Structure 1
Amino acid sequence: MRAPMRSVPSAVGPVCPPASDAADGREPAAVPEKPSARPSSPQVKSCTDEEIWLRVTREVADDLAVDALDRDRAGKPPFDELARLREAGLPALLTPPGPARRGTDWRTACAVVREIAAADGSIGELLARHYVLAWSARFFSTPERADGLELRASAEQWLWGGGIDLPDAEPATGPALSLTPDKDGYLLSGCQSFAAGVTVADRLVLGAVCAGTGESLVVWVDPAHPGVAAEPENDRLGQRLAAAGRIRFDGVPVPADQVLGAVPHDEHAFAPFATLAPLALRLALVHVGLGVAEGALAEARDITRAAPRGRAGTGRDEGGYPDRPGADPYLLLAYGELATEAHTAAAVVESASEALARGLLAGPGLGVDQRADIAVLVAAAEAVTSRSAVRLTTRVLELTQGAGPVADPLGFDRFWRNARVLTAQASPTHRLRDIGDHYLNGTHPPLTLHA
């Protein structure tokens, strides 16, 4: 079982949970299938109780860590895992401030994602994508419509899935998803792959192209409609419980009030605030990758402590510490290097998180220059963390091989597999090129919804 406190602590403090209007104390029902009812968020009277959410998140993470390997090997849809998150009220955590509710800030949500990802990278990714997609109405619609949708989603603890990653150029075969005008709105058709949430999401946020006009629209739909068919991917290398797969839409109605907004084709017509959506997603996934690396390092530390004491060195350069775990000085050196690398990555990620939090608070008043600075910091966080996550999880595999047979059942390979899948989604080379172009030439990263 994972230690209650990670060796590399989160850079963000505890959270203050949102108040719930429907907490009635009932026991949540068992979830053998996709649940229709959602337990309410825990009721908290004052935001001064900051330690409450820190304890809640760590308790959920420790609970997930207990059977993380068994669940990874079983590869079942994560309905049970989501029930654990809902019981703790975590899906409703990142709700933008508005009438009759208190929302938590971006940095707080990232701390929660990182803590959950340290125990289970797949569930961390589900939660990260959900938090970003929960802001879709804020990015693309009016504040009034965003308030109404967010209140409903928060009260019912919807898990958002899908994605708004519209390509910069339409492929020759046409858009993956298309909208055909209908008397009451549109009909959605097509097929698209998503990295998470395919089989478990309560609502989907999607980017689609209107047939005839070619206008790109962001919409949301209910995947429970009979015209929606999900095809999960059960043989992934890593992130096996993130519910990845393909979704096919066959004439699914999209009423006009489920259209969040239009996406301009001209980069110069983009509102800088709307283009924070892909940056928020990229940074949320950076927190997932960092959490995976920190979780691997913490579990490796626990295994090393529990292993038989190594032989203490006798020479000046090989002097061990026979009274401490890991008498081999080179083992101590390795852990020192890994802990330092994790701290370094965390510092870079924290800087990007702080900048993005300020950008989200700026809202529609966000300027192009400020958005460019945020994009560069997010790119730096991606480049540093992607390399660190792979190096850390690879080195952990090497360190735990000599810890005895007790290490085998823990399946440290899952951390490496999860890190590889997460880092494969973005090329550090491209991110470093953008950073260099901005630093040397002052060039702004393009305003786009393409992640």
Structure 2
Amino acid sequence: MPKRSAARPAAPPAAPPAEDALWPRVTRELADDLAVDALARDRAGKPPFDEVSRLREAGLPALLTPPGPLSGGSDWRTACAVIREIAAADSSIGELLARHYALTWSARFFGTPEQADALERRVADGQWLLAGDTGGTGHPSADAEPPAAPGTTPDLTLTPDGSGHLLHGRRAFAAGVAVADRLVIGAGDTETGDWLIALVDPAHPGVTTEPAHDRLGQRLTGAGSLTFDGVPVAPGQILGTVSHDEQHLTPYATLAPLALRLGLVHVALGIAEGALAEARDLSRAAPRAWQGAEPGPAGYPEQPGRDPYLLLAYGELVAAAHTAAAVVEPATEALARGLLMGGELGVNERADIAVLVAAAEAVTGQAALQITTRILELTAADGTVGDPGFDRFWRNARVLTAQRSPAHSLRAIGDHYLNGAHPPLTLRI
């Protein structure tokens, strides 16, 4: 049954590292901690309140915010590395972080420097975890009609009311609805047709939360649906405005979905690497319970990990992971550079970033599914071990990659390469 969002306790003060050099150590410690009980927590499938507390204790929600007493003020390259390592231990928490980091920059994408500074300071001071979606049904794009056109009616609307707005509608979210401190969401202005980016408190009585239960994978992201019934949004809660006129959709604003997509690519890569690492530990420790088709005169050595067919399988999977990582790296570098350009980012630069992200998305999605499927087969073939829980890697990879069809990415790459076409300027993920 749907329920009203309960008030959340104030976030404890955080003491994150003051230098970038410490982030890898802090992330490694948290990843090790999450890995210890990852299988048990996946099986339980409870809202990730405890996991979010662990993120706050490590100071990770404030990683991308400006330097200060409560923030390390790191960059997007570091953020992506953190997402990837946390996802290797627990991909649900990696997805929570990826979405949070993308939303942290919402005011930079859509608002003024003053609005961006205000949001980022509040995130750092309160150690907020952000969730939401700046796109959604009916948002503007360069290849679509304005939101008010038939067939593109916004699922969320903001109706002017006095000096502010009232938020109405319902939307499903892939993560964070159960645990977020604030929501960053896009909604259509019923008077102007513009797309507004709003900051909303999910604990408001007008917000109804309906968690998603029994998901196939990514069970700990806190996914679900939110219904907004006349939730007041003050002028100070509007982080930015996107005109319904497609000509006014800037290349820099359309980096918002690309930042999220790349963050989720790092989650997928983390899943593949985490599955490989855990399977390696199992294969090193346990002898094979089956023989190959042609074991040879003396058979295979009894030592764990000496089966040549096993070595071949791991060689193929490790090569697939390295290939994915090699494609993800230039996309990460390109996006990091583009994010620093601000309003100077041009259409051509944005197109190059979009194609690199699409390539990383396509290659990594395929590799994650290939690796987790084969790992599941390899570990299931060992009858000497009980259920090692490797199904969670496959389930998580399947659910994560299903959020966006690879056909869209491949078509954009092909059109750019063959025809020199630019991927459309859009806020759609």
TM-score when normalising by structure 2: 0.91
Deviation at 1:174, TM superposition (A): 3.0
Q: Following the alignment from structure 2 to structure 1, what is the Cα–Cα distance between the partners of residues 315 and 359? A: 23
Q: Following the alignment from structure 2 to structure 1, what is the Cα–Cα distance between the partners of residues 70 and 217? A: 40
Task: Work out whether 1:283 is the aligned partner of 2:262.
Answer: yes
Q: Following the alignment from structure 2 to structure 1, what is the Cα–Cα distance between the partners of residues 201 and 283? A: 47
Amino acid at match of 1:141: G
Deviation at 1:284, TM superposition (A): 0.3
Q: Following the alignment from structure 2 to structure 1, what is the Cα–Cα distance between the partners of residues 395 and 122? A: 36
Q: Following the alignment from structure 2 to structure 1, what is the Cα–Cα distance between the partners of residues 309 and 81? A: 32
Match of 1:156 among 126, 145, 167: 126
**Per the alignment, do residues 100 and 57 of structure 1 end up closer, same or farther by CA in structure 2, a change over 3 Å counting?**
closer
**Per the alignment, do residues 383 and 146 of structure 1 end up closer, same or farther by CA in structure 2, a change over 3 Å counting?**
same
**Per the alignment, do residues 434 and 173 of structure 1 end up closer, same or farther by CA in structure 2, a change over 3 Å counting?**
closer
Residue pair 1:268, 1:447 contacting (<8 A) in 2 also: no
Per-residue Cα deviation, 1:169-208 (whole angstroms, up to 9, x for no partner): 5464832111111113100011110100011110001111
Residue pair 2:16, 2:71 contacting (<8 A) in 1 also: no
Task: Work out whether 1:105 is the aligned partner of 2:75.
Answer: yes
Deviation at 1:315, TM superposition (A): 7.9
Per-residue Cα deviation, 1:50-91 (whole angstroms, up to 9, x for no partner): 1x3212111111111111111111111100010111111111
Per-residue Cα deviation, 1:79-108 (whole angstroms, up to 9, x for no partner): 001011111111111115699965211010
Deviation at 1:319, TM superposition (A): 8.5
Match of 1:349 among 328, 352, 375: 328
Match of 1:70 in 2: 40
Q: Following the alignment from structure 1 to structure 2, what is the Cα–Cα distance between the partners of residues 222 and 112? A: 26
Residue pair 2:265, 2:365 contacting (<8 A) in 1 also: yes
**Per the alignment, do residues 122 and 314 of structure 1 end up closer, same or farther by CA in structure 2, a change over 3 Å counting?**
closer
Q: Which moved more, 1:424-433 or 1:90-99?
A: 90-99
Match of 1:327 among 286, 294, 306: 306
Match of 1:411 among 366, 370, 389: 389
Matches within 5 A, 1:162-181: 162-166=132-136, 167=138, 168=144, 170=147, 172=151, 174-181=153-160
Match of 1:230 among 209, 230, 242: 209
Amino acid at match of 2:410: L
Amino acid at match of 2:23: W
Identity %: 68
Deviation at 1:316, TM superposition (A): 9.6
TM-score when normalising by structure 1: 0.87
Per-residue Cα deviation, 1:316-335 (whole angstroms, up to 9, x for no partner): 97998738532210110000
Residue pair 2:70, 2:125 contacting (<8 A) in 1 also: no
Task: Work out whether 1:127 is the aligned partner of 2:97.
Answer: yes
Aligned residues: 415
In the alignment, structure 2 segments of 5+ residues that lack a partner are 1-5, 139-143
Q: Following the alignment from structure 2 to structure 1, what is the Cα–Cα distance between the partners of residues 72 and 293? A: 61
Task: Specify the SS of the correspondent of 1:274.
Answer: coil
Match of 1:27 in 2: none
Q: Following the alignment from structure 1 to structure 2, what is the Cα–Cα distance between the partners of residues 225 and 332? A: 55
Q: Following the alignment from structure 1 to structure 2, what is the Cα–Cα distance between the partners of residues 347 and 353? A: 10
Per-residue Cα deviation, 1:320-379 (whole angstroms, up to 9, x for no partner): 873853221011000000001000000101110000000011111111111000000000
Q: Following the alignment from structure 1 to structure 2, what is the Cα–Cα distance between the partners of residues 242 and 200? A: 9
**Per the alignment, do residues 418 and 34 of structure 1 end up closer, same or farther by CA in structure 2, a change over 3 Å counting?**
farther
Q: Which moved more, 1:426-435 or 1:391-400?
A: 426-435
Per-residue Cα deviation, 1:257-289 (whole angstroms, up to 9, x for no partner): 111121123433211111100000000000001
Match of 2:141 in 1: none
Residue pair 2:91, 2:218 contacting (<8 A) in 1 also: yes
Amino acid at match of 1:84: R
**Per the alignment, do residues 232 and 416 of structure 1 end up closer, same or farther by CA in structure 2, a change over 3 Å counting?**
same
Match of 2:224 in 1: 245
Residue pair 1:303, 1:407 contacting (<8 A) in 2 also: no
Match of 2:84 among 100, 104, 114: 114
Match of 1:184 in 2: 163
Residue pair 1:141, 1:260 contacting (<8 A) in 2 also: yes
**Per the alignment, do residues 335 and 251 of structure 1 end up closer, same or farther by CA in structure 2, a change over 3 Å counting?**
same
Deviation at 1:314, TM superposition (A): 12
Amino acid at match of 2:270: G
Q: Following the alignment from structure 1 to structure 2, what is the Cα–Cα distance between the partners of residues 352 and 226? A: 41
Task: Work out whether 1:137 is the aligned partner of 2:115.
Answer: no
